Structure 1
Amino acid sequence: MPERVLVYSRFPKSLMLRIGERFDLLDAAGKPPNEVFTAEQLSGVRAMITAGGTPLSGNMMDMMPKLAAIVCYGTGYDGVDLKAAKSRKITVGHSPGANAASVADIAVILLLAVTRRLLVADHYVRSGDWAAAKPSPMMRPQPGMPGRKIGIYGMGEIGRKIAARVAAFEAEVGYFSRSRRDVPYRYFPNLEALADWCSVLMIAVRAGADTHHVVNADILKRLGEDGCVVNIARGSVIDQQALVNALTDKTIAAAGLDVYAREPHAPDALTAFPNVVLSPHIGGHTLESHTAMQDCVIANLTAFFEGKPLPYVVREA
C-alpha cells in the first residue's frame, strides 16, 4: 500500500501526477490541514510536500504528530520554520539547483527587457506611434550590454548560471555572497560596494531573516539614476515600498521583477510604471525544471520511507 503524504501548499494537479503514482496524496489545497482532513486522517501522516515560500509553522506541524519529513517542491525553504522542525526532529528536504537554469534564463530575459525597454518598444509599435513617426522620449538609445557592469547578489547555483549568461553578452560581472566563490568574477566584500560599482543589480540570494529588505533605499540610491534592479529570488529581499519610491523619484531607471512582497501581486503603483517589467513568479516554470523538481521530491520521499537519509536535505535544518 502506498505511503501517505500530505500536500500542504496549493499546487496545480498536473504537477502532482508523477508523485501521486508513487504515494497516496492527501491534498489540503493550501488550506490548514485540519480544515480539510480529520485528526484521525492526519494522525498517520509522516511526510508532507510544501512550496518553500509557503509559511509553515510549528503549530501546523503539530497537527501531524507523526510528521518526520517536510519536502519542499523547489529550491527555496524560507517559509518553513526550521527551528521548529529541528526541535521536533523533522527533517527538511528541497530540490537544490533543479530549476537553476530556467530561473537564470528569466533573470536574463528581464535584464534585457528592462535595459532595452522592450515593453515600451512593443507598445510603440502596437499603438501606431512608430507608423505615425510620433517622437517618444522612452525610445532614446540606451547603453548596450558590452561593458555594462552587472552585479550579482548571491553566487549559488542560480547566481553562477546568471553570471555565465551575462558574461556571454560581453558584460563585466561582479558579485557579493556570504562567502567568496571559486569563480572568474570580481568579488565585493559587501552589498554596498557591489551596488556602488554596478549599473544593474541582479538579486539571486536565498531568502531569510538576514536578507529581509536588505535591498533598501540606500542600496537603490547607490545604483544611481541610470541603475536597474532585477529580482528573481524572493520578494522579501527588496523593500518594495522603497523600490516604488525610487522609481517614482527617478532615483533608479528601471526594474525587472519575477517575485513580490505578496503573491499573487495585484495591480498597484508598481505595476503602473512603464519602465518596470513584471512576470508572475515563473522563473522555474518550465517543463524541464518541474521534472527535475519532481525527481528530487520523489527521491527525498522514497529515501525517507525506506529509512535512509534524504539525498537533498536542507543543511541549515
Structure 2
Amino acid sequence: MDDRMSYSHGVEQSNEQHFLEQPKVLVLDCPAIFSFHEKKFEKKFHLLKAWESPLPMEEFLKNHARSVKVILSSFKTRITADILNLLPWVELIACESTGVENIDLVECRKRGITVTNAASAFVEDVADMAIGLLLAVLMKIPAADRDVRFKLWPQNMTFPVGHFKLREKQVGIVGLGNIGLQVAKRLEAFGCSISYTSRKEKHNLSSYKYYPKTQELAINCKILIVCCALTDQTHHIINRNVMEALGKDGIVINVGRGPLIDEKELVKFLVEGKIGGAGLDVFEKEPYVPNELVELDNVVLTPHRAGFTEQAFFDDFQLLVGNIESVFSTTNPLMSPVMELV
C-alpha cells in the first residue's frame, strides 16, 4: 500500500470512528431548519433520519430504541405516548418551533422527559409578518401587484381600494405573549390603541385594555391579530360568535396556528362579506387551503412561513445545538426549556 492509499484509508477510518462516536439524535420528520443548517447538525450529531428509512416507522424506532436519548422535533412532528413507548431512553425532545402542541407534554412530564422549544428565536420576525399581513390586507397589496404583473393597470382604473387607514385604529391581540407584545410594540408606531385577551391580565401594561373574553375584544376592535398558543382551550378561539362581533369591516390576522380559527366559519363569513378580510399564515389542515380563500382579493395567504428568515434559523440552530448538547454534557445547561414542564 503506497503512502496515498495508506493516508486515504486512515482518513476513512478516522471519519468512521468520528461518526460512531457522535451523539445520536432521532429526527422523525424533516424539519424546516434543515434547509439551512442540516450539514452543520451532521458535523455535531449522528442524525437518525426516520423519514429516509425504507423500514416501517415502528421497526425503525425499535432498532434504535436503546441508543436514542434525544429527539429533534419539527413543528409538524406528532410525538405521542405510543412513540415514547418505543423509545424508553429518551431524555430530551428539542423542538425547532415555538409551539409544542404536537407533543404529549403530560406524557413527557410523567416520564421525566424534558421538552425545549425555539423560545424567542422567531418572535421578532413573526411579529413583523403579522404587521406585513395586516398592511397587505388593508391596502390590498397582492391584488394591486397582480394588476401590474398581468398588465391590467392601463385597462383597470377601478383597481381595488384599501379598506381603511391603520393609523389610530383599535387593534385587538389574541394572546399577549412574547409575539403578541412585539406586535403591540409595532402597532404603537401607527398610533393604534391596543386591547388584548390572554390567559391572565398583564397588570404591568396598564396602557393596554384587557378583555377576559375574545368576543368582547372583537366587539371593541376593528382588527384582531391572533398569536396565542394552540391548546384545548384556544382551539377555535376565533369562532362564529367572535366573527359576528367583529363585524363586516373587521380584519382577522393569524400567525399562530390554523386551528385557532374555525376555518369553515371564516370562509363563510368572508365569502358572504360578513367580515372585511383576513391575512393567514396558517391553516387548519395544512398544507390544504380552501379554494374559496384563494379566490378572494380581500384575503392574503402565506405558507406557514412567518418568522422564516436566515437570522431566525441561525438563532434557532444555536438553541437546538445548545439544548441537545446539554444531554451529553455535565456542564452545558438547558437553554430554552418549556416552562410547563419545569
Aligned to 1:4: 24
Aligned to 1:179: 200
* Amino acid across the alignment from 1:281: H
Q: Is the 8 A contact 1:53 1:80 kept in 2?
A: no
Q: Is the partner of 1:66 in helix, strand or coil?
A: coil
**1:89-133 CA-partner distances (Å, limit 9, x unpaired):** 211111211100110111111000001111122223334443125
Once superposed, what is the RMSD of the aligned Cα atoms?
A: 2.0
What is the aligned counterpart of 1:231 among 254, 270, 275?
254
User: Partners in 2 of 1:53 and 1:195 — Cα distance?
Assistant: 30
**1:211-256 CA-partner distances (Å, limit 9, x unpaired):** 1111101111111100010000000100110100110121101000
| Length, aligned pairs only | 315
Please report how far the alpha carbon of residue 51 of structure 1 lies from its aligned counterpart in structure 2 after TM superposition.
1.7
Structure 1: runs of 5 or more not aligned: none
Structure having the higher Rg: 2
Structure 2: runs of 5 or more not aligned: 1-20
Judging changes above 3 Å, is the alpha-carbon distance between structure 1 residues 94 and 30 closer, same or farther for their aligned structure 2 residues? farther
User: Partners in 1 of 2:322 and 2:119 — Cα distance?
Assistant: 12
Aligned to 1:28: 50
The two structures have a TM-score, normalised by structure 1, of: 0.93
User: Partners in 2 of 1:293 and 1:96 — Cα distance?
Assistant: 8
Alignment of 1:90 onto 2:110:
no
**1:45-103 CA-partner distances (Å, limit 9, x unpaired):** 01111023422111011221211111101211110011111222211111211100110
Q: Is the 8 A contact 1:53 1:77 kept in 2?
A: no
Aligned to 1:156: 177
Percent identity, please.
31
Aligned to 2:12: none
User: Partners in 1 of 2:233 and 2:119 — Cα distance?
Assistant: 20
Aligned to 2:40: 18
Judging changes above 3 Å, is the alpha-carbon distance between structure 1 residues 88 and 164 closer, same or farther for their aligned structure 2 residues? same
Larger helix percent:
2
The two structures have a TM-score, normalised by structure 2, of: 0.86
Aligned to 1:112: 135
**Higher mean Cα deviation, 263-272 or 288-297?**
263-272
Judging changes above 3 Å, is the alpha-carbon distance between structure 1 residues 236 and 127 closer, same or farther for their aligned structure 2 residues? same
* Amino acid across the alignment from 1:24: H
Judging changes above 3 Å, is the alpha-carbon distance between structure 1 residues 30 and 90 closer, same or farther for their aligned structure 2 residues? farther
Please report how far the alpha carbon of residue 276 of structure 1 lies from its aligned counterpart in structure 2 after TM superposition.
0.6
Q: Is the 8 A contact 1:51 1:77 kept in 2?
A: no
Alignment of 1:72-87 (within 5 A): 72-87=95-110
Aligned to 1:270: 293
Alignment of 1:311 onto 2:331:
no
Aligned to 2:190: 169
Judging changes above 3 Å, is the alpha-carbon distance between structure 1 residues 34 and 127 closer, same or farther for their aligned structure 2 residues? closer
